Amino acid sequence: MNINENRLQDIDIQKLIQEKKEKRKVLKKLEKLVPVFLFLAAVVSVLTTFGIVFTLLSEAFTFFSDVPIKDFLFNTDWKPWSGSFGVLPLITGTLLITLIAIIVALPIGLSAAIFLSEYASDKTRRIIKPILEVLAGIPTVVYGFFALTFVTPILQSLLPDVKIFNALSAGIVVGIMIVPMIASLSEDAMSAVPASLREGALGLGSTRFEVAMKVVLPAAFSGIVASVVLAISRAIGETMIVTIAAGQSPNFTFDPTSSIQTLTSFIVQGTSGDTAYGSTIYYSVYAVGITLFVFTLLMNLFAQYIARKFREEY
């Protein structure tokens, strides 16, 4: 009986060894496939980017064969349906919305980040931060109607000169929309600062506010600046809020109480059913799109430069 039992045990062990060998062979095959899959995913991302750039450039080239680049960049009259294609009113409208948004979002977002990082308890942080980030998930169409039906009437009661469609209400609501981005990313950057720096400053007699402003903020400067620049890029590319609340009047002005039009707002208007395929107006959408692409690309490159230049390693 003992001999038979030993044989059975040997057989079972051999089976287990064989099964493990087969599993290892399968795992090795999968391990060989994983780099291939990841490489294909990276290639698809790169090809998609090149495809977008190629499409914009090719269609914009057709537009610039009819409209000189000089007139497009420096003319202050944007009336595409009348044959005038000066993009400056759209650029100034976009910059005006972005400026108002940053004026609103930066102090609120940075203050929220300081509170979450330096003052809030773990329980409070776990409650407040997800609620704050919910703002990022609200559809921008909802934000647009909120600006038009709630913020604009309040502004009109305070400033009678404010028109129904205006840059001020749109900029304020775009600022509210990007608050979670600044707050969340800045809080992450501040939380990455070692506790030893805080403890050292507190040990020297600094208050918590002094620690936050003179120790934590400088140490997390690169992450904060990167979050602000990314928020600016988000504000530049915002579409529905400015389309609904700011109007579609391409005025070359920096008056926030008047109606303006942004780059993204015209893209929405230009891709409507009234635009004939192959017309100059149709191709102007791609010219405006490549302008917007250059804006956001420069902002992202600037964010990466700031992050590399001022990054602190601990």
Ramachandran angles phi, psi of 282, nearest 5° = -60, -45
Element (H, E) at 238: none
pLDDT at 195: 82
pLDDT at 314: 52
Cβ-based neighbours of 296, under 8 Å, separated by 6 or more: 233, 236, 237
- Whether 133 and 180 have beta carbons less than 8 Å apart is answered as yes
Cα–Cα distance, 75 to 71 (Å, whole number): 5
Cβ-based neighbours of 81, under 8 Å, separated by 6 or more: 281
pLDDT at 10: 54
Cα–Cα distance, 182 to 112 (Å, whole number): 9
Q: Does the reported pTM lie above 0.85?
A: no
pLDDT at 175: 93
Q: Which two tokens stand for residue 33?
A: 């496939």
Per-residue pLDDT of the chain (314 residues; tens, 9 = 90+): 555 555 555 556 666 666 677 777 777 777 777 788 888 888 888 888 888 888 888 888 888 888 888 888 888 888 888 778 888 899 999 999 999 999 999 999 999 999 888 888 888 888 888 888 787 788 888 999 999 999 999 998 888 888 888 999 999 999 999 998 898 888 888 888 888 888 888 888 878 888 888 888 888 888 888 888 888 888 888 888 998 988 888 888 888 888 898 888 888 887 776 677 777 888 888 888 888 888 888 877 877 777 777 665 55
pLDDT at 97: 93
- Whether 215 and 293 have beta carbons less than 8 Å apart is answered as no
Q: Give SS3 for 314.
A: coil
Cα–Cα distance, 112 to 185 (Å, whole number): 11
CA distances from 264 to 4, 57, 242, 248, 295 (A): 81, 17, 8, 10, 12
Q: Which residues pair with 85 in a beta bridge?
A: 78
Element (H, E) at 171: helix 167-191
pLDDT at 7: 55
Cβ-based neighbours of 277, under 8 Å, separated by 6 or more: none
Which of 270, 242, 92 is closest to 166 using CA atoms? 242
Cα–Cα distance, 87 to 41 (Å, whole number): 37
Q: Which two tokens stand for residue 71?
A: 């007139």
Q: Indicate the angle between helix axes 280-309 and 88-114, nearest 10 degrees.
A: 30
pLDDT at 309: 72
Cα–Cα distance, 200 to 181 (Å, whole number): 30
Reduced 3-state DSSP string for 81-98: HHCEECCHHHHHHHHHHH
